[in-house]
Structure 1
Amino acid sequence: MTPEEVGCFLSHRKCWERIVSGPDAYGCVFEDDMLIAKEAALFLGEDTGWILADADIIKIETVGGKVWLDRAVSPLPGAFRLALLRSFQWGSGGYILSRVAAERLLAVTRVFSDAVDHVKFNPACGIAGTLKSYQVIPALCIQTQAFYPPGSSLIETPALAMHSAPRFPDDLVNRPWLVRKGLYAFRQVAHKLRRHWRTEIVFADQPSNFGHEQA
C-alpha cells in the first residue's frame, strides 16, 4: 500500500474506534474535502429512525460512477430514497456506520493490505460481502474534485492521490483478458436477472452535473 493509503486507513480506524467507544448506535464519518448538501440536516441529527435495522453501512457520498442497486427502495424524508448496494463503489468520503459494524471492521483490520474503500465495499475483499451497505439517493456529500470542473481553484488537493493495485484474489484485474470479459458479462446478466437497477448517483445540491437513472 502507498503511505497515503495507510494514513487514510488509520484515520478511518480511529473514527471507528470513536464510534465503538461512544454511546450511540451509529456514527457518521467524513473525510476533510467533502461538500455537504443542505438537506443533510434531515439525516444527521439525533433521529436515526430512518435507518433500516439491518444496515451496517449507509453510503451518503457519490463519486459519480454508476452502481447496481436493489430493486426495493425505501422512501426517506424529503425526496430521498434508500437502496441496498449490489456492486462495488469507490469512495469513503462520507458514510454512516453502525457500532456493530465498526466493531467487526476493527477486528478484521488489525492487519490490513488493501485500501479502506475495498475493505468496506468490495465483495471480493472479504468482510464487505457480509456487510449490508445502503446508498442514499441522491447523495448528501461529494468530494470537491468530483464536484468542480477540472482545474478549478476550489478543488482541494486530495490527501490520497496515489493508489496501489488491489491484491485480493477475486479481483477481475488479476484474471486473463478473456476470462475477465466473460466474468464481467456474467455479472451484468446476473444483476439483470435479479432485477437490480443501475444508476449514477447524483449529488443532492447539483444533480444536473451527473447522469440519469436507468432501469
Structure 2
Amino acid sequence: MASGPDAYGCVFEDDMLISKRAGLFLVEEASWVPRDADLVKVETVVGRVWLDRTVLALRDGFELARLRSFSFGSGGYILSKTAAERLLAMTRVFSDAVDHVKFNPACGIAGSLKSYQMIPALSVQTQSFYPKGSPLIEVPALAVHSDPRFPGNLMEKPWLQRKVLQALRRLGHTLRRHWRTEVMIADQTGAFCSKT
C-alpha cells in the first residue's frame, strides 16, 4: 500500500467471513471514505467499543463513526496510503500485536491515527461463529511482546488503580458524548445498532 498508486487499500485476514453487502463499498471508488480517515475498521469483534456520537451516513443504512477506544482485531480494515507510509516508518522494529499498534491508544501510534468504525461491519472472524474448542478454528499462536508493552496499559496497573482509571475513562467518554455499542455484521438480523 505504501508504495502503490492507490489512495486506499483494503486488508482482510484469511479467516474472515465477509458480508454479502461488502460489494456496496469495496468494488467501487473509495469516495465514501472521509478525507481525514487514516483507517476505517470494517470488521466487528466480540465486545463493545466507544464511538463518537456524530455519525456519517453512508448508503443503504450504513454509517461511520470515529473509533474512540481500543478495539481488538485487524481482520478487516481500509488503510490510507499516507497512514500505511507512517505505520511502515514507525514500525520498522516492534514486537507487539499489530492490532495494538493500530488500535490501542496506549501504544502511542494509534493515538495519532484517525480511525473510523463502519456500522454495521462488513466482516467478522470465523472464530466468532464457532464454539470454543471447535476443530473448525485454529489455536492462536502465542504472542511474544516487548516488556513493558505499553506504559499506559491498564492491565499493567494494580487492581485498585486500574478500577479507578477505568471509571475515569468511562466518565471521560460520557462527558465527550461518545456512545458505547457492540457493532454487528451487516448480514445479521438486527444489525443496525442502537446507541447505548
Same fold (TM over 0.5): yes
CA deviations 1:13-39 (Å, max 9, x no partner) are xxxxxx112111000001100000011
Q: Distance in 2 between matches of 1:108 and 1:119?
A: 10
Task: Label 1:110 to 1:27 Cα distance change in 2 as closer, same or farther (>3 A).
Answer: same
Task: Label 1:211 to 1:171 Cα distance change in 2 as closer, same or farther (>3 A).
Answer: farther
Within-5 A mapping of 1:49-64: 49-64=31-46
Structure 1 unaligned spans of 5+: 1-18
Q: Distance in 1 between matches of 2:32 and 2:137?
A: 32
CA deviations 1:166-205 (Å, max 9, x no partner) are 7111101111111111000000001001110000010111
Q: Distance in 2 between matches of 1:53 and 1:65?
A: 28
User: CA RMSD of the aligned region, Å?
Assistant: 1.9
How far has the Cα of 1:214 moved from its partner? 3.8
Does the alignment pair 1:78 with 2:57? no
Q: Distance in 2 between matches of 1:211 and 1:73?
A: 13
SS at match of 1:39: coil
Q: Distance in 2 between matches of 1:114 and 1:213?
A: 33
Aligned pairs, number: 194
Of 167, 178, 183 in structure 2, the residue corresponding to residue 196 of structure 1 is 178
Structure 2 unaligned spans of 5+: none
**Percent identity, aligned pairs only?**
64
State the AA in 2 paired with 1:194.
R
Of 81, 95, 99 in structure 2, the residue corresponding to residue 113 of structure 1 is 95
Partner of 1:156: 137
Q: Distance in 1 between matches of 2:185 and 2:92?
A: 34
Task: Label 1:211 to 1:74 Cα distance change in 2 as closer, same or farther (>3 A).
Answer: closer
How far has the Cα of 1:147 moved from its partner? 2.4
Which is helix-richer, 1 or 2?
1
Q: Tell me the TM-score normalized by structure 2.
A: 0.92
Task: Label 1:121 to 1:73 Cα distance change in 2 as closer, same or farther (>3 A).
Answer: same
